[in-house]
Chain A
């Protein structure tokens, strides 16, 4: 958690990251930027999924639909915030010449997506279609 607060400070004091260590090979920075963008796309896909659940599954009851949509949207928000956090931490580690940070976020996200998928299968199979 302390780690998170530290990197959060970097978000809003961008000059601080430039002050640390040496500028890494530009290719590493660009690769880090593309990883950041891949996470942003994941966030956007989750948000799109949230819209899609609400718009394309009208036969579901309102509660189930809103719950699933909100879960996907919340996952999208987490994913976007985490994208910035991970990018900042990687950038700082590269400047300092440290190992890149490890993270359990990909596992958590996979588990969450799997749970939503299983929930969808159950909802569709057993049909909580009544309004």
Chain B
């Protein structure tokens, strides 16, 4: 039974690892945002931008975690449009806040 259920190409496993890699990349960007704020002397505007960046990072982690948990079955459902849009929106928010932090 379980041998039949398992995908021979390990597609769900690979997709899960792809999400993990992506959360790592997101974490690197978030850490660079922290460094940027500290470097600029932690002004109040900087701290607000950093908090919003942290929120975007948590949002991305939330989407990724939700998706990773759906990868348990042998034939996972395709990703929803909402998940894709939320993940991309978090990335765009990180970039916009990064641009704000430069000034």
Contacts and interface: CB of A to CB of B under 8 A. Distances in A.
User: Chain A interface secondary structure, helix, strand, loop or mixed?
Assistant: helix
Task: Please classify how large the interface on chain A is, using the bins under 10, 10 to 19, 20 to 34, 35 or more.
Answer: 35 or more
| Most B Cβ at <10 Å: residue of A38, A43, A69 | A43
Nearest to B64: A37
Contact of B84 (A38, A74, A84): A84
A41 B15 contact: no
A83 to B, nearest CB: 6
Interface in A29-55: 29-34, 36-38, 40-41, 43-45, 47-48, 50-52, 54-55
A26 B21 CA distance: 21
A47 B94 contact: yes
B12 to A, nearest CB: 7
Interface in B1-48: 7, 9, 11-12, 14-15, 18-19, 21-22, 25-26, 28-29, 32-33, 35-36, 39
B92 interface: yes
Contacts of A37: 15, 18-19, 21-22
Interface string A51-80: 110110000000000100110011011001
Contacts of B76: 26, 30
Nearest to A70: B99
Given A70-B102, A77-B92, 9 more contacts: A26-B75, A37-B22, A40-B87, A51-B29, A51-B32, A51-B33, A55-B39, A73-B98, A80-B92
Among all A-B residue pairs, the 6 with the closest Cβ atoms: A14-B81, A29-B78, A51-B32, A44-B25, A80-B91, A37-B18
Interface of A: 10-12, 14, 17, 23, 26-27, 29-34, 36-38, 40-41, 43-45, 47-48, 50-52, 54-55, 66, 69-70, 73-74, 76-77, 80-81, 83-84, 87-88, 91
